[in-house]
Structure 1
């Protein structure tokens, strides 16, 4: 039941603030050098409040500096070569810093406080062109090796509009093959677990 005084968005902001305060308090209690503190401050400055955005669902919208990732909270405009977005039938949307956070949200939107509404559209950044493309028509190359990745959250799937480019990506590496290229409909908990397992329920 929704508290009439404290709506879902207000609760989300409150929980975000409490979580951030707890993390800062623990960091202070545990100690650490100044470089670590500066890095934590920088990461916190880069993040934005996680909340719904207005999204008509008829095509991708432009990312704004106020948009935060619906999974990790990082600001999305800093990751223009990785970011993604989802529109729900309710007119609410969520943005993501990366394709890895997107796949986590897709398999567990309720866990990430997504709206109680069906997904109407999904867009993610093409790793070849840098353009936002329809994720439901895209090909996901399932990169597993963080040593090859320069991704904001560890490692992300490489997304391409063209299957040929996704296959070319996996062909570069001995530990990947054509089975590591999947479509949107094949995204499941096992795929999401590769990228954001620690954030899933």
Structure 2
């Protein structure tokens, strides 16, 4: 999505030539293949571990880090793979997103029309808010799990990055609609007048 925005804003006249349907299909296919391969690798390495008698995970889903805590055997390779996967599938996309948005902002600042700038920033603002919500909550979960050992706090934090961004995503993208913006302004204006 960040690459699509980058091409649309930085190379608008070449957008149709660059973003062909075969490239979009290839981007989706590579993303699907890499994520399936990574999940399969984690699962196969997890199957080689032996587990202790207490097999209760204090989560509502089987998060890999919580499953590894139950293992009695050495999980060093699994942890290395988790850090490598976090770097490759978290850090690399984040750096591409940041790189593309730096180019977008520099292109927008060179635009002469303030209306064009506003339109571009409103279009990219929703994408950027979804990205920051997802990466911010994910980063917060892993930092908090390193600091605290509370399983309840870890479960609540996991809900924050697995459920909240996907729930808020349609709301954020619908705010680009002019009617939705007006309705939201009216709603917030009525609520603030009640307070």
TM-score, normalisation: structure 1: 0.27
Is the radius of gyration larger for structure 1 or structure 2? 2
Could you say which structure has the greater relative contact order, defined with CA pairs below 8 angstroms and 6 or more residues apart? Answer: 2
TM-score, normalisation: structure 2: 0.28
Identify the structure with the greater strand proportion: 1
